[in-house]
Amino acid sequence: MYCVGCGTPNPDYGKFCHNCGERLVNSKAELISRRIPTEKELLSQVLRMDPKPNQCHRCGSQQENLTRNEFGIAKVISVKREWGETITRAGISALSIATAPFVGVGVFSWKNPSKTTSLQLLKVELVLCSECLSWAWKTRHGMKLKEDAYRCHPWAEQARSIGYDTYLSPDEMTHLKPIR
């Protein structure tokens, strides 16, 4: 059961939230009368969680040879497609094909519409011991971490519950452009 005040997960048998002390809601009627936390409040709850910077996020070991791997947890805000060039090419192709019997040549041209995706991003660091790091590497498509490795971060599950469900590697994050 989740607290409607701060979004913290609590056991089903609990009466009060461990985080904020708010009384937990047990019935639908009571839930309707209670305030539902905003996304900003839920996000601040995620950011307050201890990311455990000095222990492996997968196995919990506190070795000295921990590696730190930066990555991003993102929420897709919008996806826009730009159809202008695609429509122009289709129109020119149609005109070219229609005039082909008279001119002798018809040309067909197509380009998929470009896509712009807007994201809200949390930049985080995945801490892994040497054993867990060897498990986490994906070598088929180059040296990058598996998506399962990103899910080991302490924030991953809580962030996913509020829509942050896209994991970005450091290479993918370098291609992002900030909104001005």
- What would the 3-class secondary structure string for 86-97 be? HHHHHHHHHHHH
Residues 66 and 3 in one domain: no
The CA radius of gyration of the chain, in Å to the nearest whole number, is 25
Residues 57 and 33 in one domain: no
Domain count, the chain: 2
Residue 62 inside a domain? The answer is: yes
Question: Domain range for residue 31?
Answer: 1-37
Tell me if the pTM is above 0.75: no
pLDDT, one tens digit per residue, over 59-106 is 999 888 899 989 999 999 888 888 888 888 888 888 888 887 777 777
Instruction: Say if CB 75 and CB 151 are below 8 A apart.
Output: no
Residues 71 and 123 in one domain: yes
- Percent of the chain past pLDDT 70, that is, above it, reads 90
Residue 24 inside a domain? The answer is: yes
Q: Which residue has the tokens 């009384």?
A: 23
